[in-house]
Structure 1
Amino acid sequence: MILSMTGYGKSVSQLAHKKITVEIRTLNSKNLDLNMRMSSAYKEKELALRQLAAKELLRGKIDFAVHVESTGVDNVPQLNTVVVEAYIKQLREVKGLNFIGNTEDGKLLEIATKFPDVFASQIDEVAPEELEAIVNTATQALAEVNNYRLDEGKTLTAEFELRIGNITNLLNEVIDVDTSRLADIRTRLEKAVSEIKEKVDENRFEQELIFYLEKYDITEEKVRLKNHLDYFIETMNAPLSQGKKLGFISQEIGREINTIGSKANHAVMQQIVVQMKDELEKVKEQMLNVL
Protein backbone atom coordinates (compact mmCIF):
# COMPACT_ATOMS: atom_id res chain seq x y z
CA MET A 1 0.00 0.00 0.00
CA ILE A 2 1.22 3.46 -0.87
CA LEU A 3 0.22 6.66 0.90
CA SER A 4 0.88 10.10 -0.52
CA MET A 5 2.33 12.82 1.68
CA THR A 6 -0.09 15.30 0.09
CA GLY A 7 -3.32 15.48 2.05
CA TYR A 8 -6.13 17.64 3.36
CA GLY A 9 -8.64 17.17 6.16
CA LYS A 10 -11.22 19.33 7.90
CA SER A 11 -13.58 18.59 10.76
CA VAL A 12 -16.11 20.78 12.57
CA SER A 13 -17.75 20.20 15.96
CA GLN A 14 -20.52 22.25 17.54
CA LEU A 15 -20.80 22.65 21.30
CA ALA A 16 -23.43 24.60 23.22
CA HIS A 17 -21.68 27.97 22.77
CA LYS A 18 -18.56 27.07 20.76
CA LYS A 19 -17.80 26.01 17.21
CA ILE A 20 -14.55 24.04 16.85
CA THR A 21 -12.86 23.75 13.45
CA VAL A 22 -9.68 21.76 12.81
CA GLU A 23 -8.09 22.09 9.37
CA ILE A 24 -4.98 20.16 8.31
CA ARG A 25 -2.91 20.41 5.14
CA THR A 26 0.13 18.25 4.35
CA LEU A 27 2.86 18.37 1.71
CA ASN A 28 5.93 16.27 1.03
CA SER A 29 8.99 16.59 3.27
CA LYS A 30 11.85 14.29 4.23
CA ASN A 31 10.96 14.59 7.91
CA LEU A 32 8.07 15.66 10.12
CA ASP A 33 7.69 19.45 9.89
CA LEU A 34 4.66 20.37 11.99
CA ASN A 35 3.36 23.95 12.17
CA MET A 36 0.51 24.26 14.68
CA ARG A 37 -1.72 27.32 15.00
CA MET A 38 -4.16 27.64 17.90
CA SER A 39 -5.28 30.10 20.57
CA SER A 40 -3.08 30.42 23.64
CA ALA A 41 -6.12 29.48 25.75
CA TYR A 42 -5.79 25.90 24.53
CA LYS A 43 -2.00 25.59 24.67
CA GLU A 44 -2.21 22.89 27.33
CA LYS A 45 -3.48 20.53 24.62
CA GLU A 46 -0.81 21.45 22.07
CA LEU A 47 1.63 18.70 23.07
CA ALA A 48 -1.08 16.05 22.96
CA LEU A 49 -2.19 17.26 19.52
CA ARG A 50 1.40 17.28 18.27
CA GLN A 51 1.91 13.71 19.46
CA LEU A 52 -1.36 12.66 17.85
CA ALA A 53 -0.42 14.28 14.52
CA ALA A 54 3.06 12.73 14.57
CA LYS A 55 1.60 9.28 15.25
CA GLU A 56 -1.03 9.50 12.50
CA LEU A 57 0.87 11.38 9.78
CA LEU A 58 4.48 10.23 10.39
CA ARG A 59 6.14 12.52 7.83
CA GLY A 60 5.50 15.62 5.78
CA LYS A 61 5.21 19.39 6.01
CA ILE A 62 2.05 19.80 8.07
CA ASP A 63 -0.06 22.91 8.65
CA PHE A 64 -2.33 22.15 11.63
CA ALA A 65 -4.87 24.86 12.54
CA VAL A 66 -7.38 24.84 15.40
CA HIS A 67 -10.09 27.54 15.41
CA VAL A 68 -12.56 27.94 18.29
CA GLU A 69 -15.37 30.40 17.62
CA SER A 70 -17.80 31.60 20.28
CA THR A 71 -21.42 31.29 19.17
CA GLY A 72 -22.89 32.64 22.43
CA VAL A 73 -22.40 35.74 24.57
CA ASP A 74 -19.87 34.32 26.99
CA ASN A 75 -16.91 36.21 25.63
CA VAL A 76 -18.47 39.54 24.70
CA PRO A 77 -15.94 42.26 25.61
CA GLN A 78 -16.83 43.92 28.92
CA LEU A 79 -16.40 47.62 29.58
CA ASN A 80 -13.80 48.16 32.27
CA THR A 81 -15.59 50.97 34.12
CA VAL A 82 -12.77 51.52 36.59
CA VAL A 83 -10.32 52.26 33.79
CA VAL A 84 -12.83 54.46 31.95
CA GLU A 85 -13.56 56.55 35.05
CA ALA A 86 -9.85 56.99 35.69
CA TYR A 87 -9.34 58.21 32.09
CA ILE A 88 -12.26 60.67 32.40
CA LYS A 89 -10.92 62.00 35.69
CA GLN A 90 -7.53 62.67 34.09
CA LEU A 91 -9.16 64.30 31.08
CA ARG A 92 -11.08 66.72 33.33
CA GLU A 93 -7.75 67.83 34.76
CA VAL A 94 -6.31 68.64 31.35
CA LYS A 95 -6.28 72.38 30.78
CA GLY A 96 -7.50 73.72 27.52
CA LEU A 97 -10.29 71.20 26.93
CA ASN A 98 -13.36 73.28 26.14
CA PHE A 99 -16.82 71.73 25.83
CA ILE A 100 -20.16 73.37 25.13
CA GLY A 101 -22.98 73.01 27.61
CA ASN A 102 -23.94 69.50 28.62
CA THR A 103 -21.87 67.79 25.98
CA GLU A 104 -18.80 67.62 28.21
CA ASP A 105 -19.48 64.19 29.77
CA GLY A 106 -20.41 62.62 26.45
CA LYS A 107 -17.31 64.03 24.78
CA LEU A 108 -15.01 62.83 27.55
CA LEU A 109 -16.55 59.36 27.41
CA GLU A 110 -16.05 59.24 23.65
CA ILE A 111 -12.37 60.17 24.07
CA ALA A 112 -11.82 57.77 27.01
CA THR A 113 -13.19 54.73 25.16
CA LYS A 114 -10.50 55.12 22.51
CA PHE A 115 -7.72 54.54 25.04
CA PRO A 116 -6.21 51.09 25.69
CA ASP A 117 -7.63 48.52 28.12
CA VAL A 118 -11.11 50.03 28.37
CA PHE A 119 -12.56 46.78 27.04
CA ALA A 120 -11.52 43.41 28.42
CA SER A 121 -12.66 39.96 27.38
CA GLN A 122 -13.79 37.85 30.24
CA ILE A 123 -11.72 34.71 29.86
CA ASP A 124 -12.90 31.78 31.91
CA GLU A 125 -11.04 28.55 32.46
CA VAL A 126 -11.50 26.20 29.53
CA ALA A 127 -13.91 23.40 30.37
CA PRO A 128 -12.56 19.81 30.15
CA GLU A 129 -15.32 18.83 27.72
CA GLU A 130 -14.21 21.62 25.39
CA LEU A 131 -10.61 20.35 25.43
CA GLU A 132 -11.87 16.82 24.80
CA ALA A 133 -13.97 18.08 21.89
CA ILE A 134 -10.86 19.70 20.34
CA VAL A 135 -8.96 16.40 20.50
CA ASN A 136 -11.91 14.46 19.03
CA THR A 137 -12.31 17.00 16.23
CA ALA A 138 -8.58 16.81 15.49
CA THR A 139 -8.79 13.00 15.38
CA GLN A 140 -11.58 13.22 12.79
CA ALA A 141 -9.60 15.71 10.70
CA LEU A 142 -6.52 13.45 10.80
CA ALA A 143 -8.66 10.54 9.60
CA GLU A 144 -9.79 12.72 6.67
CA VAL A 145 -6.16 13.50 5.84
CA ASN A 146 -5.26 9.82 5.81
CA ASN A 147 -8.22 9.02 3.55
CA TYR A 148 -7.05 11.74 1.18
CA ARG A 149 -3.50 10.35 1.29
CA LEU A 150 -4.81 6.86 0.56
CA ASP A 151 -6.72 8.07 -2.52
CA GLU A 152 -3.65 9.92 -3.77
CA GLY A 153 -1.60 6.80 -3.06
CA LYS A 154 -3.79 4.74 -5.40
CA THR A 155 -2.92 7.13 -8.23
CA LEU A 156 0.78 6.84 -7.40
CA THR A 157 0.51 3.03 -7.28
CA ALA A 158 -0.95 2.94 -10.79
CA GLU A 159 1.85 5.21 -12.01
CA PHE A 160 4.57 3.07 -10.44
CA GLU A 161 3.07 -0.13 -11.79
CA LEU A 162 3.10 1.37 -15.27
CA ARG A 163 6.70 2.62 -15.08
CA ILE A 164 8.14 -0.50 -13.42
CA GLY A 165 6.25 -2.62 -15.96
CA ASN A 166 7.80 -0.58 -18.78
CA ILE A 167 11.29 -1.08 -17.33
CA THR A 168 10.62 -4.82 -17.03
CA ASN A 169 9.58 -4.97 -20.69
CA LEU A 170 12.70 -3.05 -21.68
CA LEU A 171 14.81 -5.46 -19.63
CA ASN A 172 13.32 -8.32 -21.64
CA GLU A 173 14.41 -6.47 -24.78
CA VAL A 174 17.91 -6.17 -23.31
CA ILE A 175 17.93 -9.93 -22.68
CA ASP A 176 16.90 -10.61 -26.28
CA VAL A 177 19.52 -8.25 -27.69
CA ASP A 178 22.20 -9.64 -25.39
CA THR A 179 22.05 -13.08 -27.01
CA SER A 180 23.63 -11.68 -30.15
CA ARG A 181 25.48 -8.67 -28.70
CA LEU A 182 28.66 -10.49 -27.58
CA ALA A 183 28.80 -12.35 -30.86
CA ASP A 184 28.65 -9.00 -32.68
CA ILE A 185 31.44 -7.60 -30.48
CA ARG A 186 33.57 -10.69 -31.14
CA THR A 187 33.04 -10.37 -34.90
CA ARG A 188 34.08 -6.69 -34.81
CA LEU A 189 37.25 -7.47 -32.88
CA GLU A 190 38.23 -10.33 -35.17
CA LYS A 191 37.67 -8.11 -38.19
CA ALA A 192 39.78 -5.35 -36.66
CA VAL A 193 42.64 -7.78 -35.98
CA SER A 194 42.46 -9.22 -39.48
CA GLU A 195 42.73 -5.76 -40.99
CA ILE A 196 46.04 -5.25 -39.21
CA LYS A 197 47.46 -7.96 -41.48
CA GLU A 198 49.83 -9.15 -38.83
CA LYS A 199 50.18 -12.76 -37.78
CA VAL A 200 49.03 -13.31 -34.18
CA ASP A 201 49.15 -16.23 -31.80
CA GLU A 202 45.69 -17.75 -32.09
CA ASN A 203 45.70 -19.17 -28.55
CA ARG A 204 46.84 -15.90 -27.01
CA PHE A 205 44.33 -13.98 -29.10
CA GLU A 206 41.52 -16.27 -27.93
CA GLN A 207 42.51 -15.80 -24.29
CA GLU A 208 42.61 -12.01 -24.64
CA LEU A 209 39.32 -12.07 -26.49
CA ILE A 210 37.63 -14.08 -23.74
CA PHE A 211 39.01 -11.71 -21.09
CA TYR A 212 37.81 -8.71 -23.11
CA LEU A 213 34.33 -10.12 -23.62
CA GLU A 214 33.98 -10.91 -19.91
CA LYS A 215 34.27 -7.19 -19.21
CA TYR A 216 31.12 -6.68 -21.27
CA ASP A 217 29.14 -9.52 -19.74
CA ILE A 218 25.94 -8.23 -18.07
CA THR A 219 24.49 -11.50 -16.81
CA GLU A 220 24.72 -10.46 -13.15
CA GLU A 221 23.30 -7.01 -13.83
CA LYS A 222 20.29 -8.49 -15.63
CA VAL A 223 19.56 -10.82 -12.72
CA ARG A 224 19.98 -8.11 -10.08
CA LEU A 225 17.86 -5.63 -12.02
CA LYS A 226 15.02 -8.16 -12.32
CA ASN A 227 15.25 -8.85 -8.57
CA HIS A 228 15.15 -5.12 -7.75
CA LEU A 229 12.10 -4.60 -9.97
CA ASP A 230 10.27 -7.51 -8.32
CA TYR A 231 11.27 -6.23 -4.86
CA PHE A 232 9.95 -2.76 -5.71
CA ILE A 233 6.50 -4.19 -6.54
CA GLU A 234 6.56 -6.40 -3.44
CA THR A 235 7.42 -3.47 -1.17
CA MET A 236 4.87 -1.24 -2.85
CA ASN A 237 2.11 -3.77 -2.10
CA ALA A 238 3.16 -4.29 1.53
CA PRO A 239 0.61 -3.38 4.26
CA LEU A 240 2.52 -0.22 5.25
CA SER A 241 3.64 2.64 3.02
CA GLN A 242 7.46 2.64 2.84
CA GLY A 243 8.49 5.61 0.74
CA LYS A 244 12.09 5.76 1.96
CA LYS A 245 12.62 2.06 1.29
CA LEU A 246 11.16 2.39 -2.21
CA GLY A 247 13.54 5.31 -2.75
CA PHE A 248 16.51 3.11 -1.87
CA ILE A 249 15.29 0.35 -4.19
CA SER A 250 14.89 2.82 -7.06
CA GLN A 251 18.50 3.91 -6.49
CA GLU A 252 19.62 0.28 -6.85
CA ILE A 253 17.54 -0.06 -10.02
CA GLY A 254 19.30 3.01 -11.41
CA ARG A 255 22.72 1.61 -10.49
CA GLU A 256 22.10 -1.62 -12.44
CA ILE A 257 20.71 0.27 -15.45
CA ASN A 258 23.79 2.52 -15.50
CA THR A 259 26.12 -0.48 -15.33
CA ILE A 260 24.33 -2.17 -18.21
CA GLY A 261 24.68 1.03 -20.21
CA SER A 262 28.40 1.33 -19.48
CA LYS A 263 29.01 -2.29 -20.49
CA ALA A 264 26.71 -2.34 -23.49
CA ASN A 265 29.10 -1.31 -26.27
CA HIS A 266 26.14 -1.87 -28.55
CA ALA A 267 24.00 0.85 -30.15
CA VAL A 268 20.64 -0.92 -29.88
CA MET A 269 21.16 -1.86 -26.23
CA GLN A 270 22.27 1.66 -25.33
CA GLN A 271 19.07 3.02 -26.87
CA ILE A 272 17.06 0.65 -24.68
CA VAL A 273 19.04 1.76 -21.63
CA VAL A 274 18.17 5.40 -22.37
CA GLN A 275 14.48 4.46 -22.39
CA MET A 276 14.89 2.62 -19.08
CA LYS A 277 16.51 5.70 -17.52
CA ASP A 278 13.64 7.87 -18.73
CA GLU A 279 11.08 5.57 -17.10
CA LEU A 280 13.07 5.48 -13.86
CA GLU A 281 13.26 9.30 -13.72
CA LYS A 282 9.45 9.41 -13.82
CA VAL A 283 9.40 6.99 -10.89
CA LYS A 284 11.84 9.15 -8.92
CA GLU A 285 9.81 12.31 -9.56
CA GLN A 286 6.70 10.76 -8.01
CA MET A 287 8.70 9.06 -5.25
CA LEU A 288 9.11 12.45 -3.52
CA ASN A 289 5.42 12.36 -2.64
CA VAL A 290 5.36 8.86 -1.12
CA LEU A 291 5.06 8.56 2.65
Structure 2
Amino acid sequence: MTGYGSGSSESIDYTLSLEIRAVNGRFFEAKVRLPRSASSFEHFVKKRVKEVCRRGNISVLVGIDLNSGENGNVQFDRDAFENYRSILATIEEDYGARLDIDKVIDMRDLLQPKQDIEFDPKLLKTVLEKALSQLDEMRSAEGFVLRDDLSARTTALRNYLSEIEENWKQMSSEIRKEFESKITKLLDGAEIEEVRIIQEAAILAEKLDVTEECVRCRSHLDQFEALLDSNEPVGKRMNFLLQEINRETNTIGSKSNHLGIIQKVVDMKDEVEKIKEQVQNVL
Protein backbone atom coordinates (compact mmCIF):
# COMPACT_ATOMS: atom_id res chain seq x y z
CA MET A 1 0.00 0.00 0.00
CA THR A 2 1.05 3.58 -0.50
CA GLY A 3 2.04 5.84 2.35
CA TYR A 4 4.31 8.60 3.61
CA GLY A 5 5.95 9.38 6.92
CA SER A 6 8.54 11.80 8.24
CA GLY A 7 10.37 12.60 11.43
CA SER A 8 13.04 14.96 12.71
CA SER A 9 15.04 15.45 15.89
CA GLU A 10 17.81 17.77 17.04
CA SER A 11 21.16 17.28 18.72
CA ILE A 12 23.61 19.96 19.79
CA ASP A 13 25.38 19.95 16.44
CA TYR A 14 22.70 19.09 13.89
CA THR A 15 19.09 18.32 13.04
CA LEU A 16 18.40 14.85 11.68
CA SER A 17 15.42 14.46 9.36
CA LEU A 18 14.00 11.35 7.71
CA GLU A 19 11.36 10.83 5.02
CA ILE A 20 9.91 7.49 4.00
CA ARG A 21 7.67 6.82 1.00
CA ALA A 22 5.98 3.55 0.10
CA VAL A 23 4.22 2.46 -3.07
CA ASN A 24 2.55 -0.82 -3.96
CA GLY A 25 4.73 -3.79 -4.85
CA ARG A 26 4.48 -7.58 -4.69
CA PHE A 27 7.84 -7.90 -2.97
CA PHE A 28 9.89 -5.87 -0.51
CA GLU A 29 12.43 -3.49 -2.00
CA ALA A 30 13.99 -0.61 -0.07
CA LYS A 31 16.27 2.17 -1.26
CA VAL A 32 17.99 4.08 1.53
CA ARG A 33 19.95 7.32 1.14
CA LEU A 34 22.05 8.25 4.15
CA PRO A 35 24.67 10.95 4.77
CA ARG A 36 28.22 9.67 4.66
CA SER A 37 28.57 9.93 8.41
CA ALA A 38 25.63 7.54 8.82
CA SER A 39 26.22 5.18 5.88
CA SER A 40 27.07 2.26 8.17
CA PHE A 41 23.47 2.24 9.43
CA GLU A 42 21.88 1.36 6.07
CA HIS A 43 21.34 -2.29 7.03
CA PHE A 44 19.72 -1.28 10.32
CA VAL A 45 17.29 1.05 8.53
CA LYS A 46 16.34 -1.54 5.89
CA LYS A 47 15.82 -4.24 8.50
CA ARG A 48 13.55 -2.06 10.64
CA VAL A 49 11.55 -0.85 7.64
CA LYS A 50 11.00 -4.44 6.50
CA GLU A 51 9.70 -5.39 9.94
CA VAL A 52 6.96 -2.79 9.56
CA CYS A 53 6.23 -2.83 5.83
CA ARG A 54 7.10 -6.40 4.78
CA ARG A 55 6.15 -5.63 1.16
CA GLY A 56 6.24 -2.72 -1.30
CA ASN A 57 8.75 -0.38 -2.89
CA ILE A 58 10.13 1.76 -0.09
CA SER A 59 12.26 4.90 -0.37
CA VAL A 60 14.04 6.31 2.69
CA LEU A 61 15.88 9.63 2.66
CA VAL A 62 17.89 10.77 5.68
CA GLY A 63 19.33 14.28 5.87
CA ILE A 64 21.54 16.18 8.29
CA ASP A 65 21.24 19.95 8.68
CA LEU A 66 24.10 21.39 10.71
CA ASN A 67 23.16 23.89 13.39
CA SER A 68 24.71 27.33 13.54
CA GLY A 69 27.89 27.71 15.55
CA GLU A 70 31.42 26.51 15.30
CA ASN A 71 30.47 22.95 14.46
CA GLY A 72 27.78 24.13 12.10
CA ASN A 73 30.07 25.64 9.52
CA VAL A 74 30.10 23.70 6.27
CA GLN A 75 32.44 23.64 3.32
CA PHE A 76 32.20 22.67 -0.31
CA ASP A 77 33.43 19.10 -0.95
CA ARG A 78 35.43 19.73 -4.11
CA ASP A 79 36.70 16.15 -4.34
CA ALA A 80 33.17 14.77 -4.36
CA PHE A 81 32.09 17.25 -7.04
CA GLU A 82 35.05 16.44 -9.27
CA ASN A 83 34.36 12.73 -8.85
CA TYR A 84 30.76 13.17 -10.02
CA ARG A 85 31.85 15.32 -12.95
CA SER A 86 34.47 12.76 -14.01
CA ILE A 87 31.89 9.97 -13.99
CA LEU A 88 29.45 12.00 -16.10
CA ALA A 89 32.21 12.87 -18.58
CA THR A 90 33.06 9.17 -18.95
CA ILE A 91 29.40 8.31 -19.58
CA GLU A 92 29.14 11.00 -22.26
CA GLU A 93 32.40 9.95 -23.93
CA ASP A 94 31.71 6.20 -23.91
CA TYR A 95 27.96 6.15 -24.53
CA GLY A 96 27.08 9.54 -25.99
CA ALA A 97 24.62 10.22 -23.18
CA ARG A 98 24.82 13.67 -21.65
CA LEU A 99 23.45 14.02 -18.13
CA ASP A 100 23.02 17.29 -16.25
CA ILE A 101 24.97 17.19 -13.01
CA ASP A 102 22.22 18.97 -11.06
CA LYS A 103 19.84 16.11 -11.88
CA VAL A 104 22.28 13.46 -10.70
CA ILE A 105 23.49 14.73 -7.36
CA ASP A 106 21.92 16.26 -4.29
CA MET A 107 23.52 19.50 -3.09
CA ARG A 108 23.67 18.04 0.39
CA ASP A 109 26.14 15.46 -0.92
CA LEU A 110 28.57 18.29 -1.70
CA LEU A 111 28.42 20.02 1.67
CA GLN A 112 30.55 18.67 4.49
CA PRO A 113 31.16 20.00 8.00
CA LYS A 114 34.53 21.62 8.60
CA GLN A 115 34.79 19.52 11.72
CA ASP A 116 33.70 15.92 12.12
CA ILE A 117 30.39 15.57 13.89
CA GLU A 118 29.54 12.72 16.21
CA PHE A 119 26.59 10.88 14.68
CA ASP A 120 24.09 9.63 17.25
CA PRO A 121 22.41 6.33 16.24
CA LYS A 122 19.74 6.84 18.92
CA LEU A 123 18.66 9.96 17.07
CA LEU A 124 18.34 7.97 13.86
CA LYS A 125 16.20 5.37 15.61
CA THR A 126 13.95 8.10 17.03
CA VAL A 127 13.24 9.79 13.69
CA LEU A 128 12.86 6.42 11.94
CA GLU A 129 10.20 5.31 14.42
CA LYS A 130 8.36 8.62 14.03
CA ALA A 131 8.30 8.25 10.25
CA LEU A 132 7.29 4.58 10.37
CA SER A 133 4.45 5.40 12.76
CA GLN A 134 3.07 8.01 10.34
CA LEU A 135 3.51 5.65 7.42
CA ASP A 136 1.71 2.85 9.23
CA GLU A 137 -1.22 5.14 10.07
CA MET A 138 -1.60 6.16 6.43
CA ARG A 139 -1.36 2.58 5.19
CA SER A 140 -3.90 1.45 7.80
CA ALA A 141 -6.35 4.11 6.61
CA GLU A 142 -5.89 2.88 3.04
CA GLY A 143 -6.43 -0.67 4.29
CA PHE A 144 -9.89 0.21 5.63
CA VAL A 145 -10.81 1.72 2.27
CA LEU A 146 -9.55 -1.41 0.51
CA ARG A 147 -11.55 -3.62 2.86
CA ASP A 148 -14.76 -1.72 2.07
CA ASP A 149 -14.07 -2.00 -1.65
CA LEU A 150 -13.48 -5.76 -1.46
CA SER A 151 -16.60 -6.20 0.65
CA ALA A 152 -18.68 -4.33 -1.93
CA ARG A 153 -17.28 -6.50 -4.72
CA THR A 154 -18.05 -9.76 -2.91
CA THR A 155 -21.60 -8.48 -2.42
CA ALA A 156 -21.79 -7.91 -6.18
CA LEU A 157 -20.65 -11.51 -6.77
CA ARG A 158 -23.40 -12.78 -4.46
CA ASN A 159 -25.97 -10.78 -6.40
CA TYR A 160 -24.74 -12.27 -9.67
CA LEU A 161 -25.08 -15.77 -8.21
CA SER A 162 -28.68 -15.05 -7.18
CA GLU A 163 -29.47 -13.85 -10.71
CA ILE A 164 -27.83 -16.96 -12.18
CA GLU A 165 -30.02 -19.18 -9.98
CA GLU A 166 -33.15 -17.31 -11.07
CA ASN A 167 -32.15 -17.70 -14.70
CA TRP A 168 -31.46 -21.39 -14.09
CA LYS A 169 -35.02 -21.94 -12.83
CA GLN A 170 -36.30 -20.45 -16.07
CA MET A 171 -33.79 -22.45 -18.10
CA SER A 172 -34.65 -25.79 -16.45
CA SER A 173 -38.32 -25.27 -17.31
CA GLU A 174 -37.37 -24.46 -20.90
CA ILE A 175 -35.17 -27.57 -21.07
CA ARG A 176 -38.08 -29.79 -20.03
CA LYS A 177 -40.45 -28.26 -22.59
CA GLU A 178 -37.86 -28.43 -25.38
CA PHE A 179 -37.00 -32.04 -24.51
CA GLU A 180 -40.67 -33.09 -24.55
CA SER A 181 -41.18 -31.36 -27.89
CA LYS A 182 -38.19 -33.11 -29.48
CA ILE A 183 -39.23 -36.51 -28.12
CA THR A 184 -42.76 -36.07 -29.46
CA LYS A 185 -41.43 -35.25 -32.93
CA LEU A 186 -39.04 -38.20 -32.88
CA LEU A 187 -41.76 -40.66 -31.83
CA ASP A 188 -44.02 -39.34 -34.58
CA GLY A 189 -47.25 -40.25 -32.86
CA ALA A 190 -46.05 -43.35 -31.02
CA GLU A 191 -47.23 -43.61 -27.44
CA ILE A 192 -44.84 -43.27 -24.50
CA GLU A 193 -45.51 -42.78 -20.82
CA GLU A 194 -45.37 -39.14 -19.75
CA VAL A 195 -43.54 -40.19 -16.59
CA ARG A 196 -40.69 -41.54 -18.70
CA ILE A 197 -40.41 -38.26 -20.59
CA ILE A 198 -40.34 -36.34 -17.32
CA GLN A 199 -37.63 -38.64 -15.95
CA GLU A 200 -35.42 -38.22 -19.00
CA ALA A 201 -35.91 -34.46 -18.97
CA ALA A 202 -34.96 -34.40 -15.28
CA ILE A 203 -31.78 -36.38 -15.97
CA LEU A 204 -30.79 -33.93 -18.70
CA ALA A 205 -31.55 -30.94 -16.49
CA GLU A 206 -29.48 -32.42 -13.66
CA LYS A 207 -26.43 -32.63 -15.92
CA LEU A 208 -26.79 -28.93 -16.66
CA ASP A 209 -27.70 -27.91 -13.10
CA VAL A 210 -25.47 -25.16 -11.68
CA THR A 211 -26.81 -25.24 -8.12
CA GLU A 212 -23.74 -27.03 -6.71
CA GLU A 213 -21.38 -24.53 -8.32
CA CYS A 214 -23.38 -21.63 -6.88
CA VAL A 215 -23.32 -23.19 -3.41
CA ARG A 216 -19.55 -23.69 -3.55
CA CYS A 217 -19.05 -20.12 -4.78
CA ARG A 218 -21.00 -18.81 -1.80
CA SER A 219 -18.90 -20.94 0.53
CA HIS A 220 -15.72 -19.48 -0.95
CA LEU A 221 -17.15 -15.97 -0.61
CA ASP A 222 -17.98 -16.63 3.07
CA GLN A 223 -14.36 -17.63 3.68
CA PHE A 224 -13.04 -14.66 1.70
CA GLU A 225 -15.15 -12.18 3.67
CA ALA A 226 -14.01 -13.72 6.96
CA LEU A 227 -10.42 -12.96 5.95
CA LEU A 228 -11.25 -9.26 5.54
CA ASP A 229 -11.34 -8.89 9.33
CA SER A 230 -8.21 -10.94 10.01
CA ASN A 231 -5.09 -9.36 11.49
CA GLU A 232 -2.86 -12.06 10.00
CA PRO A 233 -1.34 -12.16 6.48
CA VAL A 234 -4.17 -13.37 4.23
CA GLY A 235 -3.09 -12.46 0.69
CA LYS A 236 -2.20 -16.01 -0.39
CA ARG A 237 -5.41 -17.48 1.00
CA MET A 238 -7.44 -14.78 -0.73
CA ASN A 239 -5.75 -15.56 -4.04
CA PHE A 240 -6.51 -19.28 -3.61
CA LEU A 241 -10.20 -18.60 -2.91
CA LEU A 242 -10.41 -16.31 -5.95
CA GLN A 243 -8.98 -19.09 -8.11
CA GLU A 244 -11.65 -21.46 -6.81
CA ILE A 245 -14.42 -18.91 -7.41
CA ASN A 246 -13.13 -18.38 -10.93
CA ARG A 247 -13.07 -22.14 -11.54
CA GLU A 248 -16.67 -22.58 -10.38
CA THR A 249 -17.70 -19.61 -12.52
CA ASN A 250 -16.11 -21.19 -15.59
CA THR A 251 -17.98 -24.43 -14.90
CA ILE A 252 -21.27 -22.54 -14.70
CA GLY A 253 -20.53 -20.92 -18.05
CA SER A 254 -19.63 -24.23 -19.70
CA LYS A 255 -22.91 -25.82 -18.56
CA SER A 256 -25.22 -23.14 -19.87
CA ASN A 257 -26.20 -21.60 -23.17
CA HIS A 258 -28.77 -19.34 -21.52
CA LEU A 259 -28.02 -15.74 -22.50
CA GLY A 260 -28.83 -14.37 -19.04
CA ILE A 261 -26.52 -16.85 -17.30
CA ILE A 262 -23.71 -16.31 -19.78
CA GLN A 263 -23.89 -12.55 -19.24
CA LYS A 264 -23.71 -12.96 -15.45
CA VAL A 265 -20.76 -15.33 -15.82
CA VAL A 266 -18.94 -12.64 -17.80
CA ASP A 267 -19.81 -10.08 -15.11
CA MET A 268 -18.54 -12.40 -12.37
CA LYS A 269 -15.24 -13.08 -14.12
CA ASP A 270 -14.72 -9.35 -14.63
CA GLU A 271 -15.42 -8.68 -10.94
CA VAL A 272 -13.05 -11.46 -9.84
CA GLU A 273 -10.26 -9.94 -11.94
CA LYS A 274 -10.81 -6.56 -10.27
CA ILE A 275 -10.65 -8.21 -6.85
CA LYS A 276 -7.42 -9.99 -7.84
CA GLU A 277 -5.83 -6.63 -8.67
CA GLN A 278 -6.80 -5.24 -5.28
CA VAL A 279 -5.62 -8.35 -3.42
CA GLN A 280 -2.11 -7.73 -4.81
CA ASN A 281 -1.96 -4.97 -2.18
CA VAL A 282 -2.81 -7.37 0.66
CA LEU A 283 -0.10 -9.18 2.60
TM-score (normalised: structure 1):
0.74
Do structure 1's residue 149 and structure 2's residue 146 form an aligned pair?
no
Deviations 1:208-253, CA, capped at 9 Å, x for gaps: 7555434312232111100111111100111235233323322222
**Candidates 4, 7, 13, aligned match of 2:9:** 13
Match of residue 35 from structure 1: 31
Give the direction of change, closer, same or farther, for the CA distance of 1:40–1:242 in structure 2 (3 Å limit): farther
Which SS does the other structure have where 2:226 is aligned? helix
CA shift for structure 1 position 285: 3.0
> Counterpart of 2:277 in structure 1: which amino acid?
E
Which SS does the other structure have where 1:10 is aligned? strand
Alignment of structure 1 residues 35-184 onto 2, 5 Å? 35-72=31-68, 73-74=70-71, 76-77=73-74, 121-122=113-114, 124=116, 126-127=118-119, 130-184=120-174
Match of residue 82 from structure 1: none
Distance 1:221 1:196 in 2: 33
CA shift for structure 1 position 185: 1.8
Aligned 8 A contact 1:37 1:66 in 2:
yes
Aligned 8 A contact 1:236 1:246 in 2:
no
**Candidates 212, 219, 222, aligned match of 2:214:** 222
CA shift for structure 1 position 78: 6.6
Distance 2:75 2:211 in 1: 83
Percent identical among aligned pairs is 32
Distance 2:192 2:43 in 1: 81
Distance 1:61 1:51 in 2: 14
Distance 1:185 1:204 in 2: 15
Distance 1:64 1:77 in 2: 24
Distance 1:253 1:231 in 2: 11
CA shift for structure 1 position 32: 0.5
Do structure 1's residue 192 and structure 2's residue 182 form an aligned pair?
yes
Match of residue 105 from structure 2: none
Distance 1:285 1:274 in 2: 17
CA shift for structure 1 position 200: 10
> Counterpart of 1:29 in structure 2: which amino acid?
G
Aligned 8 A contact 2:175 2:201 in 1:
no
Distance 1:166 1:138 in 2: 42
Distance 1:29 1:120 in 2: 35
Deviations 1:102-160, CA, capped at 9 Å, x for gaps: xxxxxxxxxxxxxxxxx985453634xx2111111111111111100011111111111
Deviations 1:58-101, CA, capped at 9 Å, x for gaps: 1011111111221234253579xxxxxxxxxxxxxxxxxxxxxx
Greater relative contact order: 1 or 2 (C-alpha under 8 angstroms, separation 6 or more)? 1
Aligned 8 A contact 2:28 2:55 in 1:
yes
